[in-house]
């Protein structure tokens, strides 16, 4: 038996493929032993009655991002503190290239903010806003080689939108470099048109599902044209889900991601967007839809249309001059900073709505919240499972614990949670990062800086089908 630093005894181990009663032995930060009885470790945790699951991997969070015209409430310290309290051990935030600037320099800027300040392990996706010949020909290939193996592109927003020609150029580069492209699918012109007309009429529903569906179809068509796999992120309802399912049924490598807000919030929450009520607290894009959309998202989850379930944690303050209620946003809904905090509640809400209500199995829960993120983004098998040799990133989970989500128990820096008063069953009890207990009963035990930067492999899911040669 290897010398063990830690034994987790008496729990039920859950992976994306199995639910097994066994003990876990950890040595040097890695899983060293899975056995009926593990004894003789330097430290022992009694996990009787608990689930022992891979730590959550949230592959869609925004931290310290300079965008959307406001200051983000969470930097790397508070954002990853919130992540770890929610049972996560890895996050993948974004390094955004401001237009006209070097992508490499932007990545270095984010490293300066993150390195030494994270409670969980982390990597970066790149946001490409300015795909110049030197970005496509030199910077992106070198960055992919350096472990930044995925990029996000936007089909909307004045300061980030790529036109169709630019999208194709980024897709072509991704195909060549074997990187995975994440696409924000909402059509720029349709949104702009609607925003202007609706603003004049004092109505705030400027991003209906049809703009998401149109953009998803366009992105899928471009991806098919070049035979490049893409991930369509933050899918909000039936329209875009059906586009992805249609593409998958055609054999295309089109992947889908959905998020907590699309199974638990609705457009009703957005009422009061003229800021006399609390609607701004729920502004994110795509916006939450209606209860029928929750059913469509569950259909996509259970049918395997969605590979990943993320938070899209994009935290702004509600109060104050730089938050949702900033003076400009009071003049029109279009200026309300776009995004909500959610990294800490992703696992409890999916567990409660999915596992406890019988919609998904425990294995599927682990796949959606951890394993598939690792596989999609080049971190597997080091991350995302409980098997010999994996990093010992583990959440001990009480499946019966009832909690009410409240701002006062959150660990993020922002001043509200959109899920205030939301009741869940299932809660993280301890979070273990590479064999160290870093959070217990909401108490952060480790120090910022314990999180390490993860250089990622190329994703096997980014390999083209080989059907066409552009």
From the list ligand DUC, Zn ion, none, which binds 175 (C-beta under 5 to 8 Å, kind-based)?
none
Nearer Cβ to ligand DUC (5/239): 239
Nearer Cβ to ligand DUC (45/64): 64
Only segment of 122-130, 173-181, 308-316, 346-354 that touches Zn ion (CB under 5 A)? 308-316
Shortest approach of ligand DUC to residue 308 CB, angstroms? 13
Shortest approach of ligand DUC to residue 337 CB, angstroms? 9
Task: State how far the alpha carbon of 82 is from the alpha carbons of 115, 341, 379, in Å.
Answer: 17, 10, 22
Nearer Cβ to Zn ion (41/183): 183
Site string for Zn ion, 262-301 (x = CB under 5 A): ----------------------------------------
> In which element (H, E) is residue 232 found?
strand 230-235
Nearer Cβ to Zn ion (12/150): 150
In the 3-class helix/strand/coil scheme, how is 404-466 assigned residue by residue? ECCHHHCCCCCCCCCCCCCEEEEEEEEEEECCEEEEECCEECCCCCCCCECCCCCCHHHCCCC
Work out whether 312 is an interface residue with Zn ion (CB under 5 A).
Answer: yes
Token readout for 306 is 């969605």
Shortest approach of ligand DUC to residue 214 CB, angstroms? 16
Give the interface with ligand DUC as residue ranges (CB under 6 A). 62, 184, 234, 284-285, 312, 314, 338-339
C-beta of residue 123 within 8 angstroms of C-beta of residue 453: yes
From the list ligand DUC, Zn ion, none, which binds 338 (C-beta under 5 to 8 Å, kind-based)?
ligand DUC
Shortest approach of ligand DUC to residue 239 CB, angstroms? 17
Shortest approach of ligand DUC to residue 338 CB, angstroms? 5
Site string for Zn ion, 169-208 (x = CB under 5 A): ---------------x------------------------
Task: State how far the alpha carbon of 62 is from the alpha carbons of 14, 59, 76, 357, 393, in Å.
Answer: 28, 10, 9, 30, 22
> In which element (H, E) is residue 80 found?
helix 76-85
- How far apart are the C-alpha atoms of 163 and 226, rounded to whole Å? 16
- How far apart are the C-alpha atoms of 104 and 308, rounded to whole Å? 28
Site string for Zn ion, 401-420 (x = CB under 5 A): --------------------
Biggest CA–CA distance in the chain, Å, is 72
Q: Which of 400, 401, 299, 308 is nearest to 359 (CA)?
A: 299
C-beta of residue 256 within 8 angstroms of C-beta of residue 231: yes
Residue nearest to Zn ion (CB): 184
C-beta of residue 145 within 8 angstroms of C-beta of residue 107: no
Shortest approach of Zn ion to residue 62 CB, angstroms? 5
Task: Please count the CA atoms within 13 angstroms of the CA of 386 that sit on its side-chain side.
Answer: 35
Q: Which of 468, 460, 456 is nearest to 123 (CA)?
A: 456
From the list ligand DUC, Zn ion, none, which binds 326 (C-beta under 5 to 8 Å, kind-based)?
none
Nearer Cβ to Zn ion (125/383): 125
Site string for Zn ion, 351-380 (x = CB under 5 A): ------------------------------
Only segment of 219-227, 252-260, 272-280, 311-319 that touches Zn ion (CB under 5 A)? 311-319
Shortest approach of ligand DUC to residue 161 CB, angstroms? 11
Shortest approach of Zn ion to residue 15 CB, angstroms? 27
Q: Which of 315, 322, 386, 318 is nearest to 345 (CA)?
A: 315
Shortest approach of ligand DUC to residue 62 CB, angstroms? 6
Q: Which of 286, 297, 260 is nearest to 418 (CA)?
A: 260
Binding site for Zn ion (CB under 5 A): 184, 312
């Amino acid at each position: 038996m290897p010398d063990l630093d830690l034994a987790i005894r008496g729990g039920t181990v859950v992976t994306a493929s199995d639910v097994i009663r066994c003990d876990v032995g950890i040595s040097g930060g890695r899983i060293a032993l899975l056995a009926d009885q593990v004894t003789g470790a330097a430290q022992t945790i009694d996990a009787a009655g608990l689930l022992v699951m891979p730590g959550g991997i949230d592959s869609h969070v925004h931290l310290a991002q300079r965008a959307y015209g406001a200051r983000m409430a969470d930097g790397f310290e508070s954002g990853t503190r919130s992540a770890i309290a929610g049972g996560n051990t890895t996050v993948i935030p974004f390094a955004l290239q401001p237009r006209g600037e070097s992508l490499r320099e932007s990545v270095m800027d984010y490293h300066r903010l993150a390195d030494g300040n994270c409670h969980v392990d982390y990597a970066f996706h790149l946001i490409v806003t300015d795909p110049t010949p030197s970005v496509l020909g030199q910077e992106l290939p070198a960055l992919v080689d350096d472990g930044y193996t995925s990029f996000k592109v936007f089909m909307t927003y004045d300061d980030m939108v790529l036109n169709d020609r630019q999208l194709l150029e980024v897709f072509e580069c991704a195909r060549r470099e074997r990187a995975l492209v994440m696409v924000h699918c909402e059509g720029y012109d349709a949104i702009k048109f609607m925003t202007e007309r609706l603003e004049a009429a004092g109505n705030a529903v400027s991003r209906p599902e049809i703009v998401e569906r149109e953009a998803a179809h366009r992105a899928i068509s471009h991806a098919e044209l070049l035979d490049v796999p893409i991930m369509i992120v933050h899918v909000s309802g039936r329209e875009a889900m059906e586009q992805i399912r249609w593409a998958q049924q055609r054999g295309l490598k089109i992947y889908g991601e959905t998020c907590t807000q699309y199974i638990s919030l609705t457009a009703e929450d957005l009422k009061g967007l003229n800021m006399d009520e609390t609607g701004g607290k729920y502004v994110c894009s795509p916006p939450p839809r209606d209860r029928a959309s929750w059913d469509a998202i569950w259909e996509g989850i259970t049918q395997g249309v969605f590979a990943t379930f993320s938070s899209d944690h994009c935290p702004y303050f509600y109060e104050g001059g730089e938050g949702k209620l900033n003076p400009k946003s009071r003049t029109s809904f279009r200026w309300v900073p776009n995004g909500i905090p959610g990294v800490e509640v992703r696992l409890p809400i999916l567990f409660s709505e999915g596992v406890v209500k019988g919609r998904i199995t425990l294995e599927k829960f682990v796949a959606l919240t951890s394993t598939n993120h690792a596989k999609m983004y080049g971190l597997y098998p080091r991350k995302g499972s409980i098997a010999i040799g994996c990093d010992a990133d583990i959440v001990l989970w009480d499946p019966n614990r009832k909690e009410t989500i409240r701002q006062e128990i959150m660990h993020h820096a922002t001043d509200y949670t959109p899920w205030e008063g939301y009741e869940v069953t299932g809660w993280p009890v301890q979070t273990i990062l590479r064999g160290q207990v870093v959070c217990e009963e909401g108490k952060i035990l480790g120090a910022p800086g314990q999180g390490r930067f993860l250089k990622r492999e190329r994703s096997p899911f980014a390999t083209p089908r080989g059907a066409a040669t552009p």
